[in-house]
């Protein structure tokens, strides 16, 4: 018997701080609707046409009666298996799992069909999804596939399957009719139908929005002897069949090693050498069905290895960089192109302004200067004369003072900072919240919540054990949160942290100018963020991968400053006393594990991970039983 999941008592509005874990509020998820007695589905959705039908039910084209301009697809499934393969209870459990996989377990992906609504009636379940092009699936694509189009579509399929496996899901039913297209040009595909998918949290390397599987499933549904490696090969085998069909130009239902079952003329089904390069054939020999690929499943590569195959990565540029190459070229001269480069389903928009900034915000003073080129000012809304905000100016460089290459790199650095703050990270209590970004040709004005003028520099001289532990815990928790989303600050300094009050009780990180994204570090993803869409190769090469140990060592230097009473900008040997009277011995112990040398580990020695820092006794003391 499946569990209905935890009750959602969240309000309908989404706050700037989405909770302690920094994940999104429940607003980002669909709520299951239940038809009351006397209610019918046609009171909500009007059927326009039958798209198709299969073993599990029928699919119709519909419109929302409240939004008649938006066409959708609705899959209507009975609560019981009409063919008798599943008991009513098992069929309900299957439908429930499909809903959770699409709506909570997996984050959004452009190559996975998006669920719009989930409605439960007396005898049927209605799954409402985005509408793809009718009667266009992989069967339609195979005949016209060539080197470029096949690589494009196959990369999308591999990207989606990689996402499934990262989050502990095996699709388990990848067939040509379960891959649809969003357009008639076959440029973007969508995988559908997770009715037979397998989900095991033990397989997951990442978790979406802090999903807790045991809140939603019973233990017996999640545990068992099913092997991830064996199960994931179902998807790998399916990808191999897709690749063969693309290269052959037609779908082959069944292939035996001698190919005698499917045809009298085997050459009719062989891949077309005149259309595909040797790298494509190498991948086919790696994952294709026999006789082209391996006979044994154990010889198949993982989805990670497939992603790195030369046929898929040759001449690699991010999808965003390919499509918007002209905008990236214009970026050093015109910051308004950032609106195009960063456009997405974000709640923190970018807005191009053609008039004077004073028509939008009135500058009332200067707060502080984070470095020699970036100022932070205080301002108020020009219309309401209220709602004080901090305004941070990110301006393009003067080409007369800097080379064209340096100007381009600085523009890309600003682009990277906005990607991290607007697209990668959800809201978090100890990271400054950005309201909007105003764009002109010459600058980007980041409008954010107003913090105080005091930074860690003013806190160090007055820090004591209790206050230092409170602030250090806030910073360590924030760094842990950042690392979970793959962000490394790289260069955390005292002036990057501002206080919200005069009593030094609450602080926020206010500067991400040196931060980088490390996809291998990321355990969580924010909705609608896809690394390949925003992280360009040039940015990656310029900034490097980002070492999370840099942030831990920065925390060690901050801890040392709290205990000594002063910050030392030089990262070499420290000469000040390691502690002032009143600091607990556990603070000294933590300093010895992450502090600057010689008080802490030398640069080539291992330091603690951020998780170990957050679990340290000084930060999270264990209460002893009486």
- Binding positions for ATP are 75
Q: Is beta strand 507-509 parallel, antiparallel or unpaired with respect to 115-120?
A: unpaired
Q: Give the CB-side neighbour count of residue 16, counting CA atoms within 13 A.
A: 12
Q: Give the dihedral of Cα atoms 98, 103, 108, 110; nearest 10 deg.
A: 50
d(CA 218, CA 204): 17
Chain mean position to CA 561 = 35
Query: Nearest Cα to 554, choosing from 574, 571, 542, 539?
Result: 571
The percent of the chain in helix, strand and coil, each rounded to the nearest 5, is: 35, 15, 45
Structure tokens at 220: 């017996």
Q: Give the CB-side neighbour count of residue 476, counting CA atoms within 13 A.
A: 27
DSSP letter for each residue of 286-329: HHSPTTTS-SSGGGSPPHHHHHT-HHHHTT---HHHHHTHHHHH
Between helix 147-166 and helix 278-287 the angle, nearest 10°, is: 40
d(CA 620, CA 46): 56
530-556 burial code (b ≥16 CB/10 A, e <16): bbbbbbbebbbeebeebebbbbbbbbb
d(CA 324, CA 337): 10
Query: Nearest Cα to 522, choosing from 412, 426, 411, 410?
Result: 426
Q: How many CB atoms lie within 10 A of CB 374?
A: 15
Query: What's the residue count for the chain?
Result: 626
d(CA 248, CA 250): 6
- The alpha carbons of the chain give a radius of gyration, in whole angstroms, of 28
Binding site members: 75
Which residue(s) pair with 391 in the sheet? 377, 447
d(CA 101, CA 19): 23
């Amino acid at each position: 018997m499946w569990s209905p999941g935890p009750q959602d008592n969240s309000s309908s509005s989404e706050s700037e701080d989405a909770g302690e874990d920094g994940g999104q509020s429940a607003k980002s998820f669909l709520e299951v609707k239940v038809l009351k007695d006397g209610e019918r589905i046609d009171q909500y959705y009007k059927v326009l046409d039958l798209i198709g039908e299969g073993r599990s039910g029928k699919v119709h084209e519909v419109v929302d009666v409240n939004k008649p301009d938006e066409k959708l697809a609705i899959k209507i499934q009975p609560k019981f298996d009409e063919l008798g393969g599943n008991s009513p209870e098992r069929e309900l459990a299957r439908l429930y799992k499909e809903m959770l996989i699409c709506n909570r377990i997996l984050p959004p992906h452009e190559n996975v069909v998006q669920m719009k609504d989930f409605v439960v009636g007396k005898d049927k379940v209605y799954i409402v999804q985005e509408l793809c092009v009718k009667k266009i699936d992989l069967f339609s694509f195979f005949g016209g596939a060539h080197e470029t189009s096949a690589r494009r579509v196959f990369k999308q399929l591999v990207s989606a399957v990689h996402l499934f496996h990262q989050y502990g899901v095996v699709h388990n039913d990848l067939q040509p009719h379960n891959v649809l297209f969003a357009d008639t040009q076959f440029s973007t595909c969508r995988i559908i139908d997770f009715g037979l998918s397998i989900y095991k949290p033990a397989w997951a390397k990442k978790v979406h929005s802090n999903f807790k599987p045991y809140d939603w499933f019973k233990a017996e549904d999640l545990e068992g002897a099913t092997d991830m490696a064996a199960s994931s090969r179902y998807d790998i085998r399916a990808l191999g069949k897709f690749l063969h069909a693309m290269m052959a130009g037609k779908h082959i239902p069944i292939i035996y090693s001698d190919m005698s079952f499917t045809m009298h003329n085997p050459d009719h089904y062989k891949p077309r050498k005149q259309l595909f390069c040797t790298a494509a054939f190498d991948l086919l020999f790696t994952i294709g069905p026999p006789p082209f690929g391996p006979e044994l499943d154990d010889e198949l590569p993982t989805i990670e290895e497939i992603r790195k195959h030369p046929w898929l990565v040759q001449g690699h540029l991010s999808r965003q960089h390919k499509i918007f190459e002209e905008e990236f070229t214009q970026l050093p001269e015109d910051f308004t192109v950032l609106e195009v480069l960063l456009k997405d389903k974000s709640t923190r928009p970018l807005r191009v302004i053609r008039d004077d900034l004073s028509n939008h915000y009135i500058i009332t003073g200067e707060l502080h200067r984070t470095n020699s080129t970036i100022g932070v000012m205080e301002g108020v809304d020009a219309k309401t004369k209220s709602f004080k905000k901090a305004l941070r100016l990110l301006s393009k460089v003067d080409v007369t003072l800097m080379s064209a290459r340096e100007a381009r790199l600085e523009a890309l650095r600003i682009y990277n900072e906005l990607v991290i703050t607007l697209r990668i990270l959800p809201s978090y209590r100890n990271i400054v919240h950005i309201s909007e970004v105003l764009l002109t040709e010459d600058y980007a004005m980041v409008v954010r919540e107003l913090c105080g003028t005091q930074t860690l520099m003013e806190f160090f001289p007055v820090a004591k054990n209790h206050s230092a532990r409170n602030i250090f815990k806030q910073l360590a928790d924030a760094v842990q949160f950042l690392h979970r989303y793959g962000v490394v600050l790289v260069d955390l300094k005292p002036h990057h942290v501002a206080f919200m009050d005069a009593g030094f009780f609450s602080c926020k990180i206010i500067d991400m100018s040196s931060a980088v994204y490390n996809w291998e570090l990321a355990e969580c993803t924010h909705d609608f963020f896809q690394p390949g869409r925003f992280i360009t190769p040039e940015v990656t090469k310029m900034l490097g991968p980002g070492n999370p140990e840099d942030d831990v060592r920065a925390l060690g230097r901050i801890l040392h400053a709290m205990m000594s009473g002063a910050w030392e900008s030089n990262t070499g040997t420290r000469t000040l006393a390691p502690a002032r009277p009143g600091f607990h011995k556990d603070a000294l112990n933590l300093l010895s594990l992450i502090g600057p040398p010689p008080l802490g580990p030398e640069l080539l020695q291992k330091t603690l991970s951020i998780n170990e820092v957050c679990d340290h006794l000084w930060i999270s003391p264990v209460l002893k039983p009486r």
